[in-house]
A and B are shown apart, each in its own frame.
Chain A
Amino acid sequence: MDDLLAEFIAETREMLEATGGELVAWEADPADRARLDAIFRFVHTVKGNCGFFDFPRLASLSHAAEDALADCRAGRREADAALVTGVLAIIDRIAAMIDAIEAGEDFPEGGDDALIAALDGAPEAPADTPLHAPAAAQLGAGEEQTATFRRSDQRTIRLPVELLDRVMSGVSDMVLARNDLAHRLRQAGNQPTIDGPFERLTTILSDVRDAITRMRMQRIETLFGALPRLVRDLSAELGKQVMVDLDGGDVELDREMIETIRDPLTHIIRNAIDHGIETPSARLAQGKREIGLLAIAARQSGNTISIVLADDGRGLDEERIAAKAVATGLVTAAERGAMGRDKILNLIFEPGFSTAETVSNVSGRGVGLDVVRQNLEKVGGSIKVASVPGEGTTFTLQIPLTLSIIAGLTVDAGGQRFAIPQSYVEEIVQGSARALDLTRLGETALVTFRGQRVPCLMLGEVLGLTDGEAAKEPTLVMLRLASGDLFALAVEGIHNHGDLVVKPLAPAVMRSGLYAGSTLLDDGTPVLLLDVANIAAQHALVSDTRTRVLGPLAEEADAAADNASRAMLFTDFAGRRSAVRLELVQRIETAPVTAIDRSAARPRVVIDGLILPLIGLPDTPLTQPKVRLLRLSDGACELLYAVREVEDAVELTQPLAPVPEDPLAEAMTLIGGTPVTLIDAHELFARHGEAPQAAERPRCTLPEGEWARAILGPLVTAAGYDIVDPAEAGETAIGILFEDVYEVAETLGRPLPPRVIRLRDQPEAPAGAQTIYRYDREGLLAALAAAAADAAARAAATGEAA
């Protein structure tokens, strides 16, 4: 709220400064209509803003001044010296109050009534006390005012927008220069002395760019945030119940533009609540919900932002508007007869028009709408109204983005790149024509998306680049228009997305209606930004009613998707694009390099406490801190495949060509037009698969002595055992004992481990001995393996029992 208040103060100050000149001129010539209008708008705006903040004194002062001025405008009253004096006094008082509000002081009580009375030329106004300083003095005071302004603790400054523009385009140039330099540095090879500082430059530049961008842009949320309160207060005052529904708060636009639309938006909301939405009882009588709905949505379309304000009130009365327009001489009766409903409704934006029968404190006398249109047109915007009697009224504001940065997606069509504003993109779907159920009906195409038949445009065809032959593997960008309509745009490929600085195109190019602007990619290539809304309109894809659904077909779509076998597409460390059947892929893991053990002949990796075989690593040491791994499983065994990049799950629709010379390849196939090696899972698991090894390794105690530690120990460890101290051995540990020690222990009845491997010193085994010669490697390993399997089986059994 403090921010809003500061805005209000700053804005009122600015207007006071601007009105200063008008005041002098008006004082000199009270009959000057243009000055009168300007001052009228000032008091009107102040009145409007006060209602918002609960400054009753400001509100009553400005309302009184507005009343008097409105009488002059309507010709009911002459603008005489007394009136001028009265109005100027009020404006002075407003300025003083604003100062007090900013300083957080209370403005001395009283005096307001006298000022208001003075407006009516009431004799009791003390004529000897000057109610206002002469206008010239007022101007002089302006300097003093500025001084106060400077003295107060300012943490913000106001800058001319041109300056920001210059900085912004300077930074854009800098980024391009950096990209160029980066390119040259890459060509020149590694140069450590330059690379470091260059990296720093890059980081700094991107920070600066971010900051500059934010300097100009603001989310429309900052404006929307204040609306619920405004709506609440207004509806309470008018005895109505209104619910406000805001959408698109994340649309960003120029701060300046936000300032420009603040007033128009407030005006329209006032009008909607005051004149549009009925009282609860009237609504109930008409079978509507008691609570009126005011929906406000912002949407970015290319380089314009459209803001739609829709209420579900009584709608505009065409007849009354027409009658009023004729009565006020805006149109003649003959002209009226020739006008369509739309034209008549849009008469409400004509200056001096109003249909409200009673003048209320809230929406005033229709002055709002002509000011609204004037303000919007000043910045190249427009406003339209549409209304259905009894159902509601919709105001559509279009505001241009002189300089805008939008999130965009770059796509390929006909070998050329184009950008699409991200705000439209609902989803990106990739798949074969069959899975998407792409069907041609006459000249149009339909795809099935989440069980809905959705119209589909081929971008190449729209642009006249291709002959409309549907690609076998189209990538569909699902686009949702502001009207709620969904359509698919088939493109040949998707590149990246990022922030695009949109620049306007030459008028001759705009006339094609396909483009909303141009933007430069990071490498400086210009790219055209598609005007999605217009393209859809050109192909008659925009419906009047919201969301056209062509019937649910969910099951069919699922069935279609099941038919083709699918594979996970990835790039391995050798840079080869490969695919592995999707059924094998359990999940995609990301492991830190430290989890990878490359000391043995076969690399291993620890994932979730399991040691798993790892393949696909490059021969060179890994430079990145983390590795993406595909976790493959054949049901029993698991293994991990290290990949450089996981791309996507794709369908295998093209024929599979066997590759006999590469045993690890099941086949080669085409995915998206490029060859891909399909990994032979059978061979892969035959070679590398092993059952997951619990990181919790079986434990083993060793006999005492140097030999056991130095010679036996490593062998046991290699067999997958952890060597533990006999004191900590516990129940599950396997004991390796020399035969003589075992015999002694057995004879003496000392506790022995449940499983024991007995070693003997002589190569020749005595008959029936359950001992292993201490250098019988195979025998030892077999015994250890058997013991480990037994321990694992028992552990599993315990696990199940638990």
Chain B
Amino acid sequence: MTDKLLVILQIAGRRCALSALDVRSVIETGAITPIPRAPAWIAGITALRSQALTVIDCRRAIGVAGDWPTDHRAAVITEGGHSYALLVDGIEDITTAAGEVGQIPGGFGAEWSRIALGMIETMAGPALLIDLPALLAGPEDIEAAA
């Protein structure tokens, strides 16, 4: 686990990490076609070559409101046979993990705990390791379950 490569992202002002193996590429986001009547955390679809990507606004998908800057680049991931582009505040760096995934007492708060696998130490400092399936489930499932 120590040599694991991580992509460091800023989401809603927090440092988060994705396993570099999950990130297929980082693209410049072109025009995003909005999807009417889709949940708010789905920003739309965009094209990557002949493929359509579902664009996810990670801030909204986590459920943290606020006015954050958005990077002009997006991380492309594949989950369950579908490809997504993740809109984040910023894509910072690729670095290696410096420790195992761990939990901290008190948790990360309800929204963040739902999408986090745990805290991971990296060369760039501690980051929250994101659980992609949980992120892509969107915030409303929690509300529905509650």
Contacts and interface: CB of A to CB of B under 8 A. Distances in A.
Contacts of B106: none
A507 B40 CA distance: 14
Given A508-B138, A520-B50, A526-B47, 13 more contacts: A173-B50, A416-B36, A503-B51, A506-B82, A506-B136, A507-B80, A507-B82, A508-B137, A518-B52, A519-B52, A526-B33, A528-B33, A528-B45
Interface string B46-85: 1101111010000000000000000000000000111010
A515 interface: yes
Interface string A520-540: 100011111000000000000
Contacts of A508: 38-39, 42, 54, 136-138
12 contacts: A463-B36, A505-B52, A506-B84, A506-B136, A508-B137, A508-B138, A509-B38, A509-B54, A512-B35, A520-B47, A520-B50, A525-B33
Interface string B7-43: 0000000000000000000000001011111110010
A438 B82 CA distance: 41
B34 A416 contact: yes
Interface in B83-101: 84
A464 B50 contact: no
A323 to B, nearest CB: 40
Contacts of A667: none
A176 interface: yes
A172 B50 contact: yes
A464 B82 contact: no
Contacts of A507: 80, 82
B133 to A, nearest CB: 11
A416 B54 contact: no
B34 A503 contact: no
Contacts of A465: 36
B9 to A, nearest CB: 20
A689 interface: no
Contacts of B52: 503, 505, 518-520, 526
A368 interface: no
A146 interface: no
B135 to A, nearest CB: 11
Contacts of A518: 45, 52
B132 to A, nearest CB: 12
A172 B37 CA distance: 29
A524 B47 contact: yes
A468 to B, nearest CB: 14
A504 interface: yes
Contact of B49 (A173, A505, A506): A173
Interface of A: 169, 172-173, 175-176, 414, 416, 463-465, 501, 503-509, 512, 514-515, 518-520, 524-528
A-B interface, 10 closest residue pairs, ranked by CB to CB distance from nearest: A463-B36, A172-B50, A506-B54, A518-B52, A526-B45, A506-B82, A526-B52, A173-B50, A526-B47, A512-B37
B36 A464 contact: yes
A515 B84 CA distance: 17
**Interface footprint category on B:** 20 to 34
A732 B138 CA distance: 91
Nearest to A503: B52
Nearest to A515: B35
B38 A512 contact: yes
A416 B33 contact: yes
Contacts of B136: 506, 508
A503 B84 CA distance: 13
Contacts of B80: 507
Contacts of B50: 169, 172-173, 175-176, 501, 520
A766 B138 CA distance: 109
Contacts of B138: 508
A746 to B, nearest CB: 88
A526 B49 CA distance: 10
B144 to A, nearest CB: 11
B134 to A, nearest CB: 13
A469 to B, nearest CB: 17
Contact of B54 (A173, A176, A505): A505
A519 B50 CA distance: 9
Contacts of B38: 508-509, 512
A380 to B, nearest CB: 11
Contact of B33 (A175, A512, A527): A527
A505 B113 CA distance: 27
Nearest to A174: B50
Contacts of B49: 173, 176
A490 B134 CA distance: 38
A414 B49 CA distance: 26
A507 B34 CA distance: 16
Nearest to B50: A172
A276 B33 CA distance: 50
A510 to B, nearest CB: 10
B73 to A, nearest CB: 18
A504 B36 contact: no
A509 B81 CA distance: 14
A506 B96 CA distance: 30
A528 B82 contact: no
A482 B54 CA distance: 30
Contacts of B137: 508
Contact of A526 (B36, B46, B82, B84): B46
A524 B50 CA distance: 7
Of listed B37, B42, B50, B80, residue having the most chain A CB within 10 A: B50
A354 B52 CA distance: 46
Contacts of A526: 33, 45-47, 52
B92 to A, nearest CB: 26
A512 B54 CA distance: 14
A50 B88 CA distance: 61
B35 A509 contact: yes
Centre residue among B39, B54, B136, B138 by max chain A CB count within 10 A: B54
Contacts of A172: 50
A710 B82 CA distance: 83
Nearest to A501: B50
A507 B141 CA distance: 13
Contacts of B47: 520, 524-526
Contact of A464 (B31, B33, B37, B45): B37
Contacts of A527: 33
